[in-house]
C-alpha cells in the first residue's frame, strides 16, 4: 500500500511528530511505501522523498500589514498547499492519506483536494484543535469545555483563549466556525483515530458519528539495544526526580517546583531535573531561585541523551493542569520501568492506575503532589514494583505490533469503502 502521511512539521516538535516518524518507519518496515508531505523548515529531518513541500510561515511572528493578512487568508484556504498537493497526488498516486496536525499551515484546502482525487482520508486526533480553537481545552488557568458545550466558538473571543489576544482569538473562532458549519469538514474525513477514550468522548459530543471514530492508543518503539530493566531507585549517588516536556503554563511545572522546594527541607539530598523548552522557562528559572543545583534546567534533549536521563531517574513527574490526550512522557517512562506521578486529568487516567503503575494527584494541588513525592521517596521497593508493572503494561498494550495490526484494519476499511 502507498500511504501519504501529512503533518505541518517535519522535525521533532512534540508527540505528534514523534508518532509520525515512528509510524512511517513501522509502515516501511512492514513493506508499505510511505510518502511524507509537510512544510519547508531548516530543522526538517532527512527523508528519501521530500517533494512539493509547502512554504513555512511563522504565525506567532508579527510582520505587519499585507504579510500578516496573507497569513490569515492561508489559515482559511491555502492555495499553495492545494496546488502542490495536487501535483504530488498526480505524480505518486497514493492509496490513502493519513492526516496528523494540519491546521493553519495547510488549511482545509488539502482535504478538499484529497477528496477530489478520491483518496480515502484518516485523521489522528493528536490534540483538540478540531473542537477547541486553542488546541488545549484549557483557558485562563482552568480546564474549559465552553466551545464544546455551547456548540460555537465565541467563548474563545471573550476569554482571549489564543495568545491572550482578541484578534488572534477572533481569527481562530472564525476558523472553527468556517470548518464546522460552512465546510462541514468532519464529513469529508472517512475515519478518525482517537488515541485516548477521553478524546473519543469529546469527539462524540462535538458531533462526529460513532462509526467514524476508532480508539487506537499511541505506541512506543522499543530499542533492542537499550537496557530497559535497570533499577535506579537506589543506585544514584545524587538521586533525582525528572520532568520532561514543553515548558508551558498548562504543564503545571510551577506547581512541581513549589512542591519540590518545600520537599528539600526534609529531603535535602534530592534533585529535580527539568528537560524542555518553552515560553515559561525564564519564569520557572526565577521561581527555582536559590535552590541552585538542586533544580537543574537542561533545555531540549532528544534521542539517547533523553533516554539515559529517564533511565537514571528515580521517577518522572507530569504535573499537567490541562487534560492531556495520551502523553508520550508517560509511555517513555513506562517502557524504561519508571513510575510516573501525574495528575488525574484527561487520558492520563487511562495510562496510570493509581498505586499500581504510578501515582495520581489532583491537578493544581501543590500539597497533594508534595505528599505523593515524599511517600515515593520513602518507599523505593513499592516504586520499583510499580515501575515493573508499568513496563509490563506498555510492552503488552502499546507495542508496535499491536498498533500496526489495528491500524491496517482501519486503512483497509476506508480504502475498501
- Quick one: pLDDT at residue 235? 53
- Quick one: pLDDT at residue 367? 97
Instruction: Tell the residue number behind the cell numbers 480546564, with chain if given.
Output: 143
Which is more confident, 60 or 408?
A: 408
Comparing 8-17, 181-190, 288-297, the range with the smallest average pLDDT is 288-297
- pLDDT 10s digits, 356-373: 999 999 999 999 999 999
- pLDDT 10s digits, 141-154: 899 999 887 767 88
DSSP 53: P
Contact indicator for 364, 249 with CB cutoff of 8 Å: no
CA distance 124 to 191: 9
Mean pLDDT of the chain: 91
Strands 191-194 and 121-124: parallel
Cα→Cα distances 390→179, 236, 289, Å:
40, 21, 34
- Quick one: pLDDT at residue 230? 57
State the pLDDT confidence band at 52, using cuts at 50, 70 and 90: confident
Share of the chain above pLDDT 70, in %: 93
Which is more confident, 252 or 71?
A: 252
- Quick one: pLDDT at residue 222? 79
- pLDDT 10s digits, 100-117: 999 989 999 999 999 999
283, pLDDT greater than 70? yes
- pLDDT 10s digits, 287-345: 998 756 799 999 888 889 999 999 999 999 999 999 999 999 999 999 999 999 999 99
DSSP 44: P
CA distance 114 to 117: 5
Work out the angle at residue 340's Cα, subtended by the Cα atoms of residues 337 and 345, and round it to the nearest 5 degrees: 140
Q: Quote the cell numbers at residue 206.
A: 462535538
- Quick one: pLDDT at residue 57? 83
Contact indicator for 318, 191 with CB cutoff of 8 Å: no
State the pLDDT confidence band at 85, using cuts at 50, 70 and 90: very high
224, pLDDT greater than 90? no
- pLDDT 10s digits, 392-405: 999 999 999 999 99
Q: DSSP 3-state assignment of 314?
A: coil
Q: DSSP 3-state assignment of 153?
A: coil
Instruction: Tell the residue number behind the cell numbers 513496563, with chain if given.
Output: 391
User: Which domains, and CATH codes, for the chain?
Assistant: 2-219+399-416 (3.40.50.2000), 240-397 (3.40.50.2000)
Which is more confident, 404 or 48?
A: 404
Region 205-223 average pLDDT: 93
Which is more confident, 199 or 57?
A: 199
- pLDDT 10s digits, 186-196: 999 999 999 99
Helices vs strands, H then E, count in the chain: 16, 14
Region 70-86 average pLDDT: 91
What burial letters (b/e) apply to 311-336, b meaning 16+ CB within 10 Å? bbbbbbbbbbbbbbbbbbbbbbbbbb
Contact indicator for 169, 159 with CB cutoff of 8 Å: yes
- Quick one: pLDDT at residue 184? 92
234, pLDDT greater than 60? no
Amino acid at each position: 500500500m502507498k500511504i501519504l502521511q501529512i503533518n505541518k512539521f517535519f522535525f521533532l516538535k512534540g508527540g505528534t511528530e514523534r508518532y509520525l516518524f515512528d509510524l512511517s518507519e513501522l509502515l516501511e518496515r512492514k513493506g508499505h511505501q510511505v510518502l511524507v508531505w509537510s512544510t519547508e523548515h531548516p530543522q526538517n529531518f532527512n527523508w528519501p522523498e521530500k517533494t512539493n513541500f509547502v512554504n513555512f510561515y511563522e504565525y506567532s511572528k508579527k510582520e505587519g500589514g499585507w504579510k500578516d493578512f496573507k497569513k490569515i487568508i492561508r489559515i482559511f484556504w491555502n492555495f499553495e498547499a492545494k496546488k502542490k498537493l495536487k501535483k504530488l497526488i498526480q505524480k505518486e498516486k497514493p492509496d490513502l492519506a493519513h492526516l496528523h496536525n494540519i491546521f493553519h499551515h495547510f488549511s482545509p484546502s488539502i482535504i478538499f483536494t484529497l477528496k477530489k482525487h478520491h483518496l480515502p482520508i484518516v485523521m489522528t486526533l493528536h490534540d483538540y484543535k478540531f473542537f477547541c480553537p486553542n488546541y488545549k481545552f484549557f483557558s485562563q488557568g482552568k480546564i474549559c469545555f465552553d466551545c464544546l458545550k455551547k456548540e460555537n466558538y465565541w467563548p474563545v473571543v471573550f476569554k482571549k483563549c489564543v495568545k491572550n489576544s482578541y484578534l488572534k482569538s477572533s481569527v481562530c473562532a472564525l476558523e472553527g466556525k468556517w470548518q464546522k458549519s460552512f465546510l462541514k469538514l468532519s464529513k469529508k474525513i472517512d475515519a478518525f483515530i482517537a488515541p485516548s477514550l477521553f478524546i473519543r468522548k469529546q469527539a462524540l459530543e462535538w458531533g462526529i458519528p460513532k462509526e467514524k471514530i476508532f480508539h487506537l492508543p499511541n505506541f512506543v518503539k522499543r530499542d533492542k539495544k537499550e537496557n530497559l530493566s535497570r533499577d535506579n531507585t537506589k543506585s544514584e549517588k545524587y538521586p533525582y526526580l525528572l520532568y520532561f516536556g514543553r515548558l508551558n503554563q498548562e504543564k503545571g511545572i510551577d506547581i512541581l517546583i513549589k512542591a519540590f522546594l518545600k520537599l528539600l527541607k526534609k529531603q535535602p539530598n534530592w534533585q529535580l531535573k527539568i528537560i524542555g523548552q518553552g515560553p515559561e522557562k525564564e519564569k520557572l528559572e526565577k521561581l527555582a531561585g536559590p535552590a541552585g543545583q538542586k533544580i537543574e534546567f537542561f533545555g531540549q534533549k532528544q534521542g539517547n541523551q533523553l533516554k539515559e536521563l529517564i533511565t537514571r531517574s528515580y521517577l518522572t513527574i507530569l504535573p499537567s493542569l490541562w487534560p492531556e490526550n495520551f502523553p508520550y512522557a508517560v509511555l517513555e517512562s513506562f517502557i524504561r520501568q519508571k513510575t510516573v506521578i501525574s495528575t488525574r486529568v484527561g487520558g492520563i487516567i487511562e495510562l496510570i492506575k493509581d498505586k499500581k503503575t504510578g501515582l495520581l494527584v489532583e491537578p493544581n494541588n501543590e500539597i497533594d503532589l508534595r505528599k505523593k513525592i515524599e511517600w515515593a521517596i520513602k518507599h523505593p521497593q513499592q516504586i520499583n514494583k510499580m515501575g515493573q508493572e508499568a513496563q509490563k503494561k506498555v510492552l503488552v498494550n502499546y507495542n508496535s505490533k499491536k498498533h500496526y495490526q489495528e491500524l491496517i484494519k482501519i486503512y483497509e476499511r476506508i480504502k475498501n469503502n
